[in-house]
Chain A
Amino acid sequence: MSTPTVPYRSTTVPQHQHGLAGRVAASVSTPGGAVFVLAFALLVATIFANSNFGDPGYLIRFLGRTAPIAIAAIGQYYVIVSGEFDLSMGAVIAAQVVIAGDYIGDDQSRIVPGLVLMLALGAFIGLVNGLLTTLLRVPSFIVTLATMLALAGLVRYLSGGAASGYPHDDLRQLGRGVVENVPVVEVLPYPLIILGVLCVAAVWLMRRPFGRTLVAVGDNPDAAHVKGARVWWVKTRAFMISSLAATVAGILLVGSAGVHPSVGQGYEFRAITAVVLGGVVLGGGRGWVLSAVAGAFALEQLFTLLTVLEVDSTWRDSVQGVIIIAAVAVAARAWTVGRRPSPKAPPPEPARPASVTYEPTPGTPPEQPTPGANTGGN
């Protein structure tokens, strides 16, 4: 995990030694690629159990419904790949949802200021999480756990623990609305469009110097520091992205679900699970952002499959837990399998002086990634 990305040893990267098919096969054998297979397999299993679930109209709505979780997973990815955790995500969503209900309410003129307020609050929570983690050196696990509690208290205070009224329908359209009359899939839910835009932005951002530095920081913060990266600011921005992603998820959930303090509950768990299912290594430094998105879809597809199979409500959670543990365990094992090609040649690092000269300058072309590194699934 602490092996730095070394740009020179391109011949040791197995997936580039073969043609397209070989590269696809190599990608799929990494956890970051395998999650796509997993999501697809779960989809096939669901359709096999009940063919109605293969209907394009249903599938597109399913994707729309999963968009908030996928967006949360994108946010969580940035934090995890930088070597930290964000446990405050669910609480951020709940706080934003309750604020939308309380502040915006049925007043149309407050929608825009309300959204600005929510995004500002999201950025602020991320900033606090980031600064406490990086400057005060409190482990992010504790920092974000504390933020979670503080926000849960705020939600309880604002709402008294129960739902308030639903906010204005125009706001809810963001999460509930659809583009009508789309060929084949009938409709195109707004949340799915927003997710699509965010995916493109996320991939773009990971190819920018910020994204590359972020992975380097997660891989080895000391090395990144020596190379001149401002570790604290890079990580803080990752936390801000995470809280902003939670805010966007919250805005969509206000529309698709409604206002209730329980909205967002468990999102930190679902987001982290999605990221891990996507093959992103806890501790940082490895993983592709779109694999995290695929992880979110796989996770939700699993829940749907349990519904289709009519698993008894009293032990649904147990079944979910067991399957998630199994999937994550397989994902973790797969890393060792994915790295197998290189053990014969013992790596010459960590003392390799070349790694010091490597700088994540903006002009560095995105070539020769290690398997499963942030561009590995391409």
Chain B
Amino acid sequence: MRRTHVKSVLAGAAVLAVLTACSTDDSGGGSDTAGNDTAEQETEGSSDEWFVQADYDEQMEQMSATFSGPEDQPWLQYIEGPTTDTSQWATQESQKVCFANASISNPWRQTGWITMNQQLEVLQESKVISEMETRDAGDDDNQQIADIDYFISEGNCDVFIISPNSTAALTPAVERACETGKPVIVFDRGVETDCAATFIHPIGGYAWGIATAEFLVDNLEEGDKVVALRILPGVDVLETRWAAAEKIFEENGIEAVDYFTEANPETIKSIITDEITKGDVAGVWMDAGDGAVAAIEAFEDQGVDYPVMTGEDEMSFLRKWEETGLNGLAPVYSNFQWRTPLLAVEMIAKGEPVPTEWVLPQVPITEEERAAFLEANDGMPDGHYAKFGGEDLPGYPEVWQERQIP
């Protein structure tokens, strides 16, 4: 780990800044979720509190686990494990679904949201679901808590679907939803309660970090520098990606410097440009592909060789990756998971057991597979995700091509 702190040049300001830094870390809200029993490392970095060895090991195992379920429908695959008995909720009635969504403020969530709505159409057709009422919290914990409480008291809901904005803050609200006795389906980011009928998510952030960091380690030499571009602090699925990658970089002698960019292409360009000026940048690691093109363009503008790079399965990265011929990997945080909650509603209404923790497959796209994914998603907009998994849904491909956000 390379965390060179401010040197004597800024000595005066640094004293003050160190003081303020402590408060910054506190506000990260990470202390609640940190299982610090296993991570006994230096305490200076913020990512250490996000690193839980047991979760890391579990996800490492899951990356090579066998998934059950239909071969051609990864959104229904799962790892064998405990299931929830749903016979108490079996019904012939059409269900009213209440969906408390964290936000649709990034292209990944937008793509998933489109897919979810097309899946909804199918299930409304078959009368499993009568309607879905959605409240969008706009990335705001308080708003989402209010949304869930509204659903509980006013929503007349048969099923709750919750995609939590943040882990700790939403836990009590999810528990309140569980107390209504109706089935609760949580997906994407987790909460600290197992009261939900099912918690649906791809393998997770550590798996992302492991796949990407190992790719970079394999393709770089010891001592090479990697610039890590991170969206923002404090979100568990993003923090764990970095926590795993950082550990692997450290173990393999890769020098990694990390920055928060909020996916702002201007920030990304400035960072990369300055890092290139400082010295050779051999690799670029991203915790999400949004902004990958700006990072690559920064290398072009400086007229230096492309780095080894990990982005995401977003079309903009896949296209730029092919165009430039750089050595890269597109990790995937399976976007098709947005279909699964509604399909879980169908299973619950039929009284079929659902996996209590429904772990979906999460497989990166390699250079060999890239062409196939580019072809399959030809005509899709730049913000589209290759593994969106909606090819068999009504409206394909126009709805995704025109990116009509419901």
* Contact assessment for B266 and A318 in the assembled complex, using a CB-CB cutoff below 8 Å: no
- On chain A, the residues within 8 Å of B376 by CB distance are none
* Contact assessment for B266 and A307 in the assembled complex, using a CB-CB cutoff below 8 Å: no
* Contact assessment for A164 and B405 in the assembled complex, using a CB-CB cutoff below 8 Å: no
Q: Which A51-73 residues have C-beta < 8 A from chain B?
A: 52-53, 55, 58, 61, 65
- On chain B, the residues within 8 Å of A307 by CB distance are 270-271, 274-275, 278
* Contact assessment for A161 and B20 in the assembled complex, using a CB-CB cutoff below 8 Å: no
Q: Does B260 contact A (CB under 8 A)?
A: yes
Q: Which A146-174 residues have C-beta < 8 A from chain B?
A: 156, 160-166
Interface segment among A9-17, A257-265, A336-344, A366-374: the answer is A257-265
- On chain B, the residues within 8 Å of A163 by CB distance are 107, 263, 290, 316, 382-383
Q: Once bound together, how far apart are the Cα atoms of A319 and B302, in whole Å?
A: 28
* Contact assessment for A164 and B266 in the assembled complex, using a CB-CB cutoff below 8 Å: no
Q: Once bound together, how far apart are the Cα atoms of A303 and B261, in whole Å?
A: 13
Q: Which residue of B lies closest to A267 (CB)?
A: B266
Please count the residue pairs between chain A and chain B whose beta carbons lie under 8 angstroms apart in the complex: 148
Contact of A315 among B20, B258, B383 (CB under 8 A): B20
- On chain B, the residues within 8 Å of A263 by CB distance are 264-266
* Contact assessment for B17 and A322 in the assembled complex, using a CB-CB cutoff below 8 Å: yes
- On chain A, the residues within 8 Å of B2 by CB distance are 310
Q: Does A321 contact B (CB under 8 A)?
A: yes
> By CB atoms of chain A within 10 A, which of B109, B265, B279 has the most?
B265
* Contact assessment for A253 and B260 in the assembled complex, using a CB-CB cutoff below 8 Å: no
* Contact assessment for B260 and A313 in the assembled complex, using a CB-CB cutoff below 8 Å: yes
Q: Does A317 contact B (CB under 8 A)?
A: yes
Q: Once bound together, how far apart are the Cα atoms of A312 and B257, in whole Å?
A: 8
Q: Does B269 contact A (CB under 8 A)?
A: yes
Q: Does B250 contact A (CB under 8 A)?
A: no
Q: Which A235-262 residues have C-beta < 8 A from chain B?
A: 253, 256-260, 262
Contact of B24 among A156, A308, A311, A317 (CB under 8 A): A317
A257-B24 contact in complex given A49-B9, A160-B110, A163-B383, C-beta closer than 8 Å = no
> By CB atoms of chain B within 10 A, which of A176, A258, A313 has the most?
A313
Q: Once bound together, how far apart are the Cα atoms of A95 and B274, in whole Å?
A: 28
Minimum CB–CB distance from A45 to chain B (whole Å) comes to 6
A207-233: contact bitstring with B at CB < 8 Å (1 yes, 0 no)?
Answer: 000000000000000000000000000
Q: Once bound together, how far apart are the Cα atoms of A309 and B278, in whole Å?
A: 10
Contact of A260 among B10, B20, B265 (CB under 8 A): B265
* Contact assessment for A326 and B259 in the assembled complex, using a CB-CB cutoff below 8 Å: no
Contact of B278 among A52, A165, A317, A319 (CB under 8 A): A52
Interface segment among B57-65, B291-299, B350-358: the answer is B291-299
* Contact assessment for A262 and B9 in the assembled complex, using a CB-CB cutoff below 8 Å: no
Q: Once bound together, how far apart are the Cα atoms of A310 and B266, in whole Å?
A: 19
A322-B16 contact in complex given A162-B290, A253-B266, C-beta closer than 8 Å = yes
A315-338: contact bitstring with B at CB < 8 Å (1 yes, 0 no)?
Answer: 111110111001000000000000
- On chain B, the residues within 8 Å of A58 by CB distance are 277
Q: Once bound together, how far apart are the Cα atoms of A362 and B379, in whole Å?
A: 60
* Contact assessment for A314 and B46 in the assembled complex, using a CB-CB cutoff below 8 Å: yes
Q: Does B106 contact A (CB under 8 A)?
A: yes
28 contacts between A and B (CB under 8 A): A48-B9, A49-B9, A50-B277, A53-B278, A161-B105, A161-B106, A163-B383, A164-B382, A257-B268, A258-B294, A260-B290, A307-B270, A307-B274, A307-B278, A309-B9, A311-B6, A313-B230, A314-B24, A315-B17, A315-B25, A316-B260, A318-B17, A318-B24, A319-B10, A319-B14, A322-B16, A322-B17, A322-B20
**Residues of B participating in the A interface, judged by any CB pair closer than 8 Å:** 2-7, 9-10, 13-14, 16-17, 20-21, 23-25, 28, 45-46, 103-107, 109-110, 230, 233, 257-260, 262-266, 268-271, 273-275, 277-279, 290-291, 293-294, 297, 301-302, 316, 381-383, 405
Closest 10 pairs between A and B when the two form their complex, measured CB to CB: A161-B105, A315-B21, A257-B266, A318-B20, A257-B265, A258-B265, A262-B264, A162-B107, A319-B17, A310-B4
**Residues of A participating in the B interface, judged by any CB pair closer than 8 Å:** 45, 48-50, 52-53, 55, 58, 61, 65, 156, 160-166, 176, 253, 256-260, 262-263, 265, 303-304, 307-319, 321-323, 326
